[in-house]
Structures are given as C-alpha cells and as structure tokens.
Structure 1
Amino acid sequence: MNFNQQIISKNQQIILPLLNQKKVTLFIKREDLIHPYVSGNKFRKLKYNISEAIKLKKKSIVTFGGAFSNHIAATAVAGKLAGLKTFGIIRGDELGKNLAQTLLENDTLRVAYENGMKFNFVSRELYRQKNSFGFIEKMKNKWGDFYLIPEGGTNCLAVNGCKEILTEEDANFDYICCAVGTGGTISGLINSLKKHQKVIGFPALKGAFLSEEVKKYVVKREHWKLQKGYHFGGYAKYNEALINFINSFKEQTGILLDPIYTGKMLFGILDLIAKDTFKENTKILAIHTGGIQGIAGINQQLKSKNKEIIKV
C-alpha cells in the first residue's frame, strides 16, 4: 500500500422500498474496500501521519486503544507496510496476564500482534492518564524516540486525510452522513463541504463532549450537526435490533456493516427517512468507514451468549 497515493472510493446506490416510497436517494461511499485492515477512515487518518513519521525519521509508532480497536489493528498493519515498528498501549491490564489466551479470543489484537505490534497492557485508571507528560516520558524511556498517534487516530494530519474522502463528483449530494468516534472523520468532511451541503454525524458513544472536539478542527461552524439518538447505549454497545438490522441490510444490499459505527449510522439514516426528516428528492451520501475486521470479535461475544451473530 502506497500511503502517498490518492484513493477515490466508488459510490454504491442503495435500493430499498422505503427509499422509493419516501422519494429519497441514498448512496454509500465504499471506503471499506480500500484495504482489509487499513480501510475507510483508518487509511485516511493514518496516511499523513505515516508520511510524517517517515519524514521525521522515526523508527516506530506508539498509539492507544481498547481491546477491539480498529485503530490498533490498522496501525499495526500500516506500520508494517511502511517499515515502522508499532507499539500499542492497550486499555485493560487483565488482557496481558495470559497473552496467548487473549490472542486466541481476540481477533483484533491477534491481527495487530501478527503484524508486529508490541503491547503494553495498562489498567483503566492508568489509561486515563495516557496523555499526561509523565506517562509519555515513561513510554519514551521504555521504547525510545517514537511518533505518537492519539487514540482513534484523530489529529490535524488525520483531519487533512479525511478531507480527501469527498470528491468533486460528490457535490450533487445534499447531505453527507458519517459515524462519529473521536471526531476526526466528520471534521475532515465538514472542511471539504460545498456551500449547499450539510453533514450529519451519528455518534457511536454517549456524551456531550464530541461537539467541542469537532470544533477544534473545523473551519466551518455551520452546516453540520450530531444526531445523538442512535448510539444504542454507548461505545461498543449493541442489541438484538441492531444485529437484526445489520443482517437484513446485508441481505438486501450486499453491504456488510459493523455494529460499532456504520450499523448505527445506517440504522439512524433509514429511521430518519422513515420519519420524514428529509424532504422528497433529497440526495444522501453515507460514508462507509470500514471497521469490518472487528465483527469477528463481536460475533465471539454473541456466540458466548447464544445470540444471533452477524452474517459475514
């Protein structure tokens, strides 16, 4: 994978009875097809960060994440492709007590491990201090000089990468929709909007802090909003209705969604369409930000509870 290349994803139209009934056009930008692991917004966020690390002659990357973080897996794969060592500070010290067992049960960490990432499992209390000067200095003493990428990958370089998601051909859409985690992707989209367009973000987690995070990176204060009613209880939370929706959507469209981000976004978009939130002849573009690799871990959880799994 060449991190200097310009990648343009195809837009796939969604055909559903509801859309025909409400006279609303919906397309999905297939960012998930960029790469099996460095896909969607992960490629966009890492693109300029990888280039910067190389430019600064860094030999390694350090980043943060939870046990099922798409960002952790993507960083490990991207680092290997770029010839950089990767280190992951993982929330949950219990995961490091039996690494072999953890890797057996966790596809995300196994992918990262198999692509050369070294782990440092820390307690949740210590993890909350990850941005402190003392914490970073300890990491430098342990791993030497490194390039630091924040949790979720969001920084100014990541936002610049996400600006490249939209192309001139996307100017005919009225609304751009995306899932929101740390705010980097939606910030890039807002910064590349045309004057007539609006962005709707669907947060995957609870909390009122996201708006302030987005405002740190955007040059436009208008033409965007966060639709906060579709987080399904918070980050990595899901229920039977969401799993059923994901399976039904895959059956009808051939597009696989994940239950952390894109599944919640599409559930929300179609629910808003059903409630006549959008007027007739509205054109919507939803960004598929990837995250498919995390489904294996979710399915393991579902199987352990004898619940319906996501059909891949």
Structure 2
Amino acid sequence: MKSNNQKIPIHFPNGIELFIKREDQLHPVVSGNKFRKLKYNLLAAKHQNKKTLLTFGGAFSNHIVAVAGAGKEFGFETIGIIRGEELQEKIHENPSLAVAQQFGMKLVFVSRNEYGLKDTPEFLKEMQFKFGDFYLLPEGGTNELAIKGCEEILSEDDIEFSHICTSIGTGGTITGIINSAGSHQNIIGFSSLKGDFLQNDIAKFANEKNWSVNCEYHFGGYGKVNNELIEFINSFYLDHAIPLDPIYTGKMMFGIFDLILNNYFPPNSKILAIHTGGLQGIAGMNIKLEKSGKTKITI
C-alpha cells in the first residue's frame, strides 16, 4: 500500500499551490476511499467469523467492484444486490459488473422499487433467508467503521495545508477527513449529487465545524457529464499525467480550478486535493460517450 502527495505542486497566481494526494494508488482494485472504507469493516467481518459480504450498488458502482476485489483477495464470498434488472442478461456489456463477476461476486438484480426497500428489516430478512449469514456493507460503504478508516487519509505531513478538498458521494470520506484535520484547516467537499441533503448526514458524525459542501459542480447530478467536463479531464491528464474519473474527482478538480480562477481562495493558500480513485468507472462512461457520439475520456 502506498499513498503520496504530488511532489511538485500546480502553481497559480497569488502564490496559491495545489497538491494532489494520490489515494487512487493505494491498491490496484480496492483503491482510494474504498480501501479506507473497507479496511476496518473487513477486520470486523473476520472477527465475527463471517464468510460472506453482502452489499448494494448501481451498475457502474466503484463500491461493488471494490467489495468484489476485496472478497477475492481476503477470502470472502461476495454478493452484490444491483439496482435495476436491465443488465441481468448483459453483464458482459458493463465493464464494472463484468469485473465484479470475474472476481467471484454473485450479482443479484432487483427492480428499482425493490431496491428502494434495501434498508428495511423485511428486505434484509429476505436476503438472509436466501443467502444465509453475511456481513452487511451499506451502499457506498459508509458506516462508522468506514469513517474510522477515512480518518487515516490525512497524515501528519498534511497539517501544513490550509485547505483540504475531496469529492462527496455518501459523505463518509469527508467526515473522516473532518475528524482528523487540524482546526486551522478548511475542508471543502464537492458533491457529485444535486441538492445539499448531505449536510445533515455529515454533521451527525463530524467532530468539527470547519467544513462546507459545495453543490455547484455536479454537472447535472450523479453520473451526469457534459463536454466541458470531459474536455477538462482530458486536458488535466495531458498537462499533469494524472487521470480523473468523471463521477467524482473530475468534478472536484474542475471546481477547485474554477474557484481559484474566481479568487475564492485567499492568496498563498496551500490546497490538498484528495484523489479518491474511481478510475474503474471510466471504461463504462466511455461506452456511454461513444454511443452518443461524444469525446471519450483519455486514459
């Protein structure tokens, strides 16, 4: 396992510097925040003598792929409850699901209505009846043990940064960062979803108040992209040799650059952006972009 800041920062006017913490390089499959979220959950599953991990996700879920990969590496059977039934006979057409299946995950497709009941006692009881005893991982992987893992994203060397930026999906990653950051540091989360409903979820577990959620760079909502975002991601890769995914880190980095250009950050700010991984999702997005005749993401 390795994690590092880029040694050479990206320089901007007014003395602003941007460093990137390459959490995407932690593990070839279970990368970024997924590695952090699963770490203590896998230890708990082992301690409870669980043999099977069961979780939930959409057709392009980073979490589904990460759980499947972790199961293969650490000796767990894995079950993925997938939202929507349209790909049940077309798994080979979806890179994320195909990889998860190759890792040995049993994929169970349910209707969107049924998926909406996934957190109810009745649904979970039905899953236990079908599959026996299992260790439950929530959609996206966020729970208290996941937050504990995400508290380890920042190291002692990161105390020098004035601002810490991360993308947000379920809120677990930013919560862990908030809990481990210094009181002088400003934590900014860039939401990949429409709306500011995550504020309350984060506040339940966050120990400090030095954080905010930016909802201006979701590009239409979760999984939505446009030409401007794709062009930025490709240009960023060309300039810095760092790939960004279109669901999370691409939107975050676009937001950081835009805020810098609009003088949001004070002069001489030292910004640390957390690269949370998610690169496996590029293949699926490129299939969608190609079908619509749009420019694909460079990898």
TM over 0.5: yes
Aligned to 2:166: 178
> Which amino acid letter does the alignment assign opposite residue 78 of structure 2?
T
Structure 1: any 5+ residue segments left out of the alignment? 1-6
**SS in structure 1 opposite 2:12?**
helix
**Does the alignment pair 1:82 with 2:74?**
yes
CA deviation string 1:89-108 (max 9, x = no partner) = 00001221x1xxx2221110
Contact persistence 1:22–1:273 (CA under 8 A): no
CA distance in structure 2 between the aligned counterparts of 1:8 and 1:196, rounded to whole angstroms: 27
CA distance in structure 1 between the aligned counterparts of 2:199 and 2:267, rounded to whole angstroms: 29
CA distance in structure 2 between the aligned counterparts of 1:83 and 1:134, rounded to whole angstroms: 28
When structure 1 is superposed on structure 2, of 211-220 and 127-136 the one drifting more is 211-220
The 5 Å alignment of 1:284-299 reads 284-299=271-286
Contact persistence 1:8–1:165 (CA under 8 A): no
CA distance in structure 2 between the aligned counterparts of 1:192 and 1:310, rounded to whole angstroms: 34
CA deviation string 1:235-279 (max 9, x = no partner) = 000100000000000000000000000000000000000000011
> Which amino acid letter does the alignment assign opposite residue 162 of structure 2?
D
CA distance in structure 1 between the aligned counterparts of 2:174 and 2:45, rounded to whole angstroms: 24
**Does the alignment pair 1:24 with 2:12?**
no
**Does the alignment pair 1:61 with 2:18?**
no
Aligned to 1:270: 257
Contact persistence 1:202–1:265 (CA under 8 A): yes
CA distance in structure 2 between the aligned counterparts of 1:20 and 1:195, rounded to whole angstroms: 25
**SS in structure 1 opposite 2:256?**
helix
1:229 to 181, 206, 216: 216
Structure 2: any 5+ residue segments left out of the alignment? none
1:133 to 121, 131, 134: 121
Aligned to 1:3: none
CA distance in structure 2 between the aligned counterparts of 1:256 and 1:208, rounded to whole angstroms: 27
> Which amino acid letter does the alignment assign opposite residue 253 of structure 1?
H
CA deviation string 1:36-90 (max 9, x = no partner) = 2200000000000011001000010000000000000000000111100000000
Aligned to 1:12: 6
> Which amino acid letter does the alignment assign opposite residue 49 of structure 1?
N
Provide the TM-score with structure 2 as the length reference.
0.98
Contact persistence 1:67–1:109 (CA under 8 A): yes
Contact persistence 2:196–2:213 (CA under 8 A): no
CA distance in structure 2 between the aligned counterparts of 1:22 and 1:205, rounded to whole angstroms: 31
Count of residue correspondences: 299
CA distance in structure 1 between the aligned counterparts of 2:206 and 2:126, rounded to whole angstroms: 33
Contact persistence 1:24–1:281 (CA under 8 A): yes
**SS in structure 2 opposite 1:216?**
helix
**SS in structure 2 opposite 1:130?**
coil
The 5 Å alignment of 1:36-185 reads 36-96=28-88, 98=89, 102-185=90-173
**Does the alignment pair 1:252 with 2:244?**
no
> Which amino acid letter does the alignment assign opposite residue 261 of structure 2?
A
- Offset at 1:207? 2.1
CA distance in structure 1 between the aligned counterparts of 2:12 and 2:287, rounded to whole angstroms: 36
CA distance in structure 2 between the aligned counterparts of 1:48 and 1:63, rounded to whole angstroms: 16
Q: Please tell me the root mean square deviation across aligned C-alpha atoms, in Å.
A: 1.0
- Offset at 1:209? 1.4
Contact persistence 2:40–2:149 (CA under 8 A): yes
CA deviation string 1:213-245 (max 9, x = no partner) = 11122122x100001100001000010000000
CA deviation string 1:164-210 (max 9, x = no partner) = 00000000000000000000000000000111111000000012210
Question: Closer, same or farther in 2 for the Cα pair 1:204/1:14, shift >3 Å?
Answer: farther
> Which amino acid letter does the alignment assign opposite residue 51 of structure 1?
L
Provide the TM-score with structure 1 as the length reference.
0.94
CA distance in structure 1 between the aligned counterparts of 2:223 and 2:12, rounded to whole angstroms: 32
